[in-house]
Amino acid sequence: MKKLFAVALGVLTAIGGFVDIGDLVTNAVVGSRFGMSLAWVVVVGVLGICVFAEMSGRVAAVSGRATFDLVRERLGPRVGLANLFASMAVTLLTFTAEIGGVALALELATSVNELLWVPVAGVAIWLVLWRVRFSEVENIFGLMGLALIVFAVAVWQLGPDWGDLWAQASSPKPPAEENWGTYSYYAVALFGAAMTPYEVFFFSSGGVEEHWKTDDLATMRSNVFVGFPLGGMLSLAIAASTTLVLLPVGVQVDTLGQVALPVAVALGKIGLAVALLGFFAATFGAACETGLSVGYSLAQYFGWQWGKFVRPRQAARFHLVLLLSTILGIAVLLTTVDPIKVTEYSVVFSAVALPLTYFPILVVANDPDYMGEHVNGRLANGLGTVYLVLVLVASMAAIPLMLVTKAGQ
Amino acid sequence: MSPSEAAVTHRISDLLGASVAARDGREIGHVNDLRLAPGQAVRGVHVELVVEGLIVSDRHAGSMLGYDRRAEQGPWLVRAVVRRLHRNARYLPWSAVDDMAWTDRRITVDADKLMPL
Amino acid sequence: MDGTVAGRRYDAALNLLDRQIIDPDGGLVANVDDLELTERDDGRLVVTALLVGPGVLGPRLGGRLGHWTVAVWRRLCAEENPKPGRIDAADISRIDSGVHLAARPDDRGVDGLERWVDEHLIGRIPGATHEPE
Amino acid sequence: MARAVVVLAAVAILGGCVTPVTGAGTYRAKALSSVQAAISETETTRITLQGVERGRIFGPTADVIVTGNETALGSIAATLGSVQPPAGNDRIRDETSQLLSDAEDAVAAARIAVRRSDAAGIRDALTEVQKVTKQLERAEQALVSGPS
């Protein structure tokens, strides 16, 4: 019974914790511009994150080593350092976008300017990183994030022509008003949003934080293979909601308020309130995850003590990194940069950085010295190889596409 | 705890990447890794680790990522690429090392003793 | 997998370098930034210590960045001619996915920065010593 | 190095997809994208106002959304205004800027009404916003269908 509860809780928090500001914004933008014609990318991306999250979780459970440990150990200090810089830059950018997302969600609820919320949100996030237990962060924000199911309810309530949605989803080509350049650019962005590297830093480090052992592999897998795809369904529901309400009237999403609009149209104030709660939970939870991920990757590269399973004083350098990252994120946002723009760039640069993270995981998950009998099977390796190629293609295409399409215009 | 003043110490990074040449001066490649084997003496609870040989690769193509150790380690694509990059990698027992110039990072060896990995 | 089994061979770069060093309480000490080799009388090289810290990591990074790393480390160290952090090989109890130590190192060179950050910054923030819950 | 070559090749290939445009064509295209962006904003305001009227959206949320639309329209107008129109494009320029300015006014009226929770004002603003959207859509058609 207790075991069942643990599994259910894990799955629920995996669903609620799946969506972050990158998924929210990118899916809403894509829905409003491309309808469901890019839904396949979400499906491909979600399967990809499942494959690699399972691998990194398995490595963490069997060997006790989190992802960035492996990066330096396999790639050596020089390539590892270049990797660290790139990964940290992307994760910091994502962290900044998440803090901005929290501020935007609070602005939508109160009409108090987002810039005034930024320091409040930043300090609150830091306090959570400083004081709150790891599993509590995961559970509270994961469960609150389930509020985003309201998007699925809204889509259902809007009574769409399901056949039409399916027709869009099954014809992977740009609609008349868009071209292949922007279509490909947003395909890469969606892929980056679904597979963000921080997710595996966080997932694997979380496994070490919670002292996973090989006995926990089944629970970990159920979280990944049930929770993530259902979380991915929320992404699709967000895209569908903007496809139904905004695409037909020519509205292209460029604010968080527009993301919430279809829910208000479909379900009124109660739905809107739930959606805003979902925005808050998803961005706040992801802000904690990305903030921790910055600390995890730096500490693991240098071998410092990290983690929330020890007192802050025992992981002083790790906590210093968390503090400085939060200050940096707040400072960047206070330059009045638009958090939605930060988000859009963060998902594209995530796509660029993907191979840096996923290649070492794939190699180590095959090393019997680490994994013993738990090395990758044929399925994991087959999928892992396919995704390695996909991730390389997305990574190399991202910057040229960004330049050619002027970031999707 | 610390080694006696007389003992000559080095860092393993001085050896990694050092150039390897045959007695006739022919360049063979670079030290890619060092194989360590348990020695006779015991240090603490662990037997001491002695340098048993060198893995020499003809190019600076990075680490072999462990793919030199086992025939079957997957995934196939990565194994094939790494093996291809390091197809000329050889093992050389330490006994075949004639001379080690630490400052020049250059090792002279008996090239006849090179063996496949 | 069990590092204590006699006869196990290691590849230095693959199996030891850049691995996590773990103290007997499970605390994370540092990464293996380099290994110290000592020449035996018969000319063989024996691993005598794990070396840690920017002073040894710098040269491995190479280039200008490596130089700067070492230069900054020298400047920050109190001593005239600082020695890198050194953990004697005799303290190694086990080698698997990490390098496990039989004793906690108390050498300042191993975690000087951690202590400085703790004493001057993190330790001063309220709640820094609260129990890991 | 190899990576740089791949990147350059990709840029070259993808660059080929983008239609080259002449000076006048470029200006027309810029005016068109400004008009389309403006429609996106006025339609957002319209949906929001209708939501407020039917009690489906909170006042503060509507305020934030409409204020965002107003700011965005301001920057759309400023961006187009800063482009030097080639000779013979003055009519496009004048008409488009007038429309963008009308749109901004209509949305500003909406923002004022929303902040005051003024039901009558909201109704009037909704009419204005719908009117300006129609005009923008006509301008969009004209810009798409070629020189006038």
- Residue to mutate among C57, C97, C119, with most A CBs inside 10 A, is C97
CATH code (residue A9): 1.10.4160.10
Cβ neighbours of residue B10 under 8 Å, at least 6 residues apart? Answer: B102, C36, C37, C38, C39, C45
Place of tokens 């020298």: C74
Tell me, yes or no, whether A296 lies in a domain: yes
Q: Which residues does residue B31 pair with via DSSP β-bridges, in sequence order?
A: B56
Q: Is B46 helix (H, G, I), strand (E, B) or coil?
A: strand
Q: Is B82 in contact with A377 (CB distance < 8 Å)?
A: no
Q: Total structural domains in chain A?
A: 1
Residue A21's pLDDT is 94
Residue C4 lies in a domain: no
Cβ distance A352 to A399 under 8 Å?
A: yes
Position D3 in a domain: no
Are A394 and A192 in contact by the 8 Å Cβ rule? The answer is yes
Please answer yes or no on whether D61 and A400 come within 8 Å at the CB atom. Answer: no
Which comes out higher in pLDDT, residue A376 or A408?
A376
Whether A124 and chain C come into contact, CB under 8 Å, resolves to: no
Q: A touches which chains (3+ CB pairs under 8 A)?
A: B, C, D
CB contacts of C93 in chain B (<8 Å) are: 44-46
Residues of chain A found within 8 Å of residue D36, distances taken between Cβ atoms: 250
CA distance C16 to C3: 11
- Mode of pairing for the β-strands spanning B106-109 and B19-22: parallel
The confidence score (pLDDT) of residue D20 equals 38
pLDDT at A187: 96
In-domain check, residue D9 = no
Better-scored residue on pLDDT, A237 or A197: A237
Residue B1: pLDDT band (50, 70, 90) is very low
C8's CB contacts (< 8 A; 6+ apart) are B38, C2
DSSP C55: H
Q: Which residues numbered 350-409 in A keep a CB inside 8 Å of some CB on C?
A: 369-370, 372
- A79–B75 C-beta distance less than 8 A: no
Q: What is the mean pLDDT of the segment spanning B6-21?
A: 87
Average pLDDT for C104-132: 77
Separation of alpha carbons C38 and C44, rounded Å? 8
Could you tell me the residue range of the domain that residue C91 belongs to? Answer: 12-124
Is residue B61 over pLDDT 60? no
What is the CATH number for C88?
2.30.30.240
Query: Greater confidence, A34 or A6?
Result: A34
Q: Is C18 among the domain residues?
A: yes
Tell me whether residue C28 is in a domain: yes
Query: Which of these ranges, A360-364, B24-28, D4-8, has the smallest mean pLDDT?
Result: D4-8
Count of domains for chain C = 1
Helix (H, G, I), strand (E, B) or coil at C34: strand
Q: Is A317 on the interface with C (CB under 8 A)?
A: yes
Q: Does B77 touch chain A (CB under 8 A)?
A: yes
What average pLDDT does range A116-132 have in this prediction? 95
Q: How many domains does chain D have?
A: 1
Confidence band for C122, pLDDT divided at 50, 70 and 90: confident
Q: Calculate how close chain C gets to B86, using CA atoms only, in Å.
A: 15
Using alpha carbons, select from C69, C63, C44, C90 the residue that is nearest to residue B10.
C44
D36-65 mean pLDDT: 96
10 Å CB burial of residue C39 (0-12, 13-18, 19+) is middle
Instruction: Count Cβ atoms within 10 A of the Cβ of residue A392 and give its class: 0-12 exposed, 13-18 middle, 19 or more buried.
Output: middle
No. of H helices and E strands in chain C? Answer: 3, 8
Cα–Cα distance between C61 and C91 in angstroms, integer?
Answer: 27
Has residue A70 been placed in a domain?
A: yes
Tell me, what's the pLDDT at C132? 55
Do A316 and C27 make contact, defined as CB atoms within 8 angstroms?
A: no
Helical (H) or strand (E) element with B93: strand B90-93
Assess B72–A contact: CB distance below 8 Å, yes or no.
Answer: no
- Mind listing the pLDDT tens digit for each residue in A179-193? 999 999 999 999 999
pLDDT given at position B42: 72
- Contact flag B75-A75 (C-beta cutoff 8 Å): no
Mean of pLDDT values over A351-358: 91
CB contact (8 A) between residue A79 and residue B62: yes
Nearest-10 crossing angle of helices A134-145, A256-302: 160
Rounded average pLDDT over C74-91: 82
Q: pLDDT tens for residues A260-319?
A: 999 999 999 999 999 999 999 999 999 999 999 999 999 999 999 898 888 888 888 999
Residues of B in contact with A363 (CB under 8 A): 65-66, 78
Determine the distance in angstroms separating the CA of A269 from the nearest CA of chain D, rounded to an integer. 5
Judge B/D contact: 3 or more CB pairs < 8 A. Answer: no
Q: Which chains touch C (3 or more CB pairs under 8 A)?
A: A, B
Please report which confidence band the pLDDT of residue B64 belongs to, taking 50, 70 and 90 as the band edges: confident
Split at pLDDT 50, 70, 90, the class of A228 is very high
Counting residues of chain C whose pLDDT is more than 70, the rounded percentage is 88
Which residue of chain A is at minimal alpha-carbon distance from C57? A77
Q: Check B13 against C60: CB less than 8 A apart.
A: yes
| Alpha-carbon span C59 to C68, nearest angstrom | 10
CB contact under 8 A, B78 and A75: no
Which of B62, B63, B74 is closest, CB to CB, to A376? B74
Q: Is the pLDDT of residue A60 over 80?
A: yes
Give residue A395's pLDDT: 95
**What is the extent of the structural domain holding D92?**
26-145
What pLDDT is attached to residue A232?
94
Residue A361: pLDDT over 60: yes
Confidence of residue B88 (pLDDT cuts 50, 70, 90): confident
Residue C88 lies in a domain: yes
Question: What is the predicted pLDDT for the residue at C7?
Answer: 61
Dihedral sign for Cα atoms in the order B76, B81, B87, B89: negative
Is residue C6 in some structural domain? no
The 10 Å Cβ neighbour count of residue C64 is 8
Confidence (pTM): 0.91
Task: Evaluate whether residue A261 is within a structural domain.
Answer: yes
In chain B the domains, ranked by start, together with CATH numbers, are 12-116 (2.30.30.240)
To probe the interface with A, which of C20, C23, C34 has the most A CB atoms within 10 Å? C20
Q: Rounded to an integer, what distance in angstroms lies between the CA atom of residue A292 and that of residue A128?
A: 11
Query: Tell me, what's the pLDDT at B2?
Result: 46
pLDDT over 60 (residue D9): no
In a domain, D17, yes or no: no
pLDDT in tens, C32-71: 999 999 988 888 899 999 999 888 899 888 888 889 988 8
- Its domain, for residue A197, covers 2-404
Q: Decide if B75 and A376 are in contact by the 8 Å CB cutoff.
A: yes
Cα A372 to chain centroid distance, Å, stands at 30
pLDDT of residue A69: 87
Q: Among A159-163, A195-199, A384-388, D25-29, name the one with the lowest average pLDDT.
A: D25-29
Least CB–CB distance from B78: residue in A363, A375, A382: A363
Interchain contact, A77 vs C30, CB within 8 Å: no
**CA atoms of D140 and D35, how far apart (whole Å):** 6
Mean pLDDT of B49-67: 81
pLDDT number for residue A5? 84
Q: Cβ of A316 under 8 Å from any chain C Cβ?
A: yes
Which residues between 64 and 93 in chain A have a beta carbon less than 8 angstroms from any beta carbon of chain B? 74-76, 79
Quickly state the pLDDT bin for C1 (edges 50, 70, 90): very low
Instruction: Nearest by CB to A251, from D6, D40, D60: name it.
Output: D40
Is position D120 within any domain?
yes
D80, D34 Cβ separation under 8 angstroms: yes
Domain membership flag for residue A409: no
Pinpoint the alpha helices (H) of chain C.
54-61, 63-76, 108-120
Res C4 pLDDT > 80 = no
State the best of A84, A302, A363, A364 to mutate against chain C, taking most chain C CBs within 10 Å.
A302
Is omega for the bond preceding D86 within 30 degrees of 0, making it cis?
Answer: no
Percent of chain A with pLDDT over 70: 100
